[in-house]
Amino acid sequence: MKFTQLVKPATPEQALAYAKQPNTIVLGGGMWVRMQKKQFDTAIDLSALGLDTIEETADGLKIGAYVTLRQLETSPAFAAYTKDAVKTSFSPIVGVQFRNGATVGGSIFGRFGFSDVTTLFMALGATLTFVEAGEMPIASYVGGGILHDVLTYITLPKTAPDAVAVFAHRHSATDFPFVTVAAAKRGEQITVCASPVPVRPCAKTFACKDASADAFFADMPVKPNATQTAVYRDHVTRVLINRAILAVGGAPHEN
């Protein structure tokens, strides 16, 4: 990626005004966009917006979009909220140096089909705040159309889950995962999110007694990707979903 000018807006509204101009790119940590072979007129640096904090507020756990994956991984508040699942989820993402750069905002805004990060936040029931579009559930954003906006915060519900489990499958350590699964149990409900690449992550909530991979895939076939058949991907994803449901206290029944 190349750009002609770098701007550092002082307010989210200024950042949005830049983002609305043609041929501009919003930068998170830049770890993904730097691999693109594109020339932009303007790159927008969000580092002066104060979006790099994790706060426990009356609404829940409020995470700035500029918080890095490593900040989250080492945050006692986020570790407590996720019952330490963040460590299992984030530690295979390349390496510490990389996670010191990649931001949670860039990870979620990118809607990557392989994302450990998006999968976890979808299972946790996050709400996203955009400068123009305002608040929306993460599932609406991930399943929706293109948005030319600036993501400012990711907020997790005040009540933390009772249990959280994450599983992913990679060809080799630090590679992109080809399946990511997360499950979070709150009371008598389990939310399951799975990301069998190339489909975007998808989350569904079930009564504990009804949660299973069969129920998850009732209306959603797994697609093949460049290296794996649909049959293989379907099998691996089902195994990981049922493991995650078991790990959070469910009892998946298979047909």
Ligand X SMILES: Cc1cc2nc3c(=O)[nH]c(=O)nc-3n(C[C@H](O)[C@H](O)[C@H](O)COP(=O)(O)OP(=O)(O)OC[C@H]3O[C@@H](n4cnc5c(N)ncnc54)[C@H](O)[C@@H]3O)c2cc1C
Helix (H) or strand (E) holding 9: none
Closest by CA to 68, choosing from 44, 95, 88, is: 95
Interacting residues with ligand X between 50 and 79 (CB under 6 A)? 65
Considering only residues 150, 154, 165, 197, which one is a binding residue for ligand X as defined by CB under 6 A? Answer: 150
For the CA atoms of 53, 56, 61, 64, the dihedral, rounded to the nearest 10 degrees, stands at -10
Least separation in angstroms between residue 210's CB and ligand X is 28
241 lies in the binding site for ligand X (CB under 6 A): no
Max intra-chain CA distance, the chain: 58
What's CA 52's distance to the chain center, in Å? Answer: 17
Span near ligand X by CB under 6 A; candidates 2-10, 19-27, 136-144, 214-222: 19-27
Pairing relationship of beta strands 24-27 and 39-45 according to DSSP bridges: parallel
117 lies in the binding site for ligand X (CB under 6 A): yes
> At 224, which amino acid appears?
P
Considering only residues 3, 109, 153, 206, which one is a binding residue for ligand X as defined by CB under 6 A? Answer: 109
For the CA atoms of 161, 142, 138, 119, the dihedral, rounded to the nearest 10 degrees, stands at 20
Interacting residues with ligand X between 36 and 55 (CB under 6 A)? 46
Least separation in angstroms between residue 106's CB and ligand X is 2
Span near ligand X by CB under 6 A; candidates 77-85, 110-118, 154-162, 214-222: 110-118
* Residues sharing a CB contact under 8 Å with residue 97, sequence separation 6 or more, in sequence order: none
Least separation in angstroms between residue 73's CB and ligand X is 12
Considering only residues 29, 201, 250, 252, which one is a binding residue for ligand X as defined by CB under 6 A? Answer: 29
35 vs 58 by CB, closer to ligand X: 35
What's CA 129's distance to the chain center, in Å? Answer: 14
Q: How far apart are CA 100 and CA 28, in angstroms?
A: 12
Q: How far apart are CA 85 and CA 124, in angstroms?
A: 11
30 lies in the binding site for ligand X (CB under 6 A): yes
32 lies in the binding site for ligand X (CB under 6 A): yes
Contacts with ligand X by CB under 6 A lie at 25-33, 35, 46, 65, 92-94, 102-103, 105-107, 109-110, 112, 114-117, 150-151, 176-177
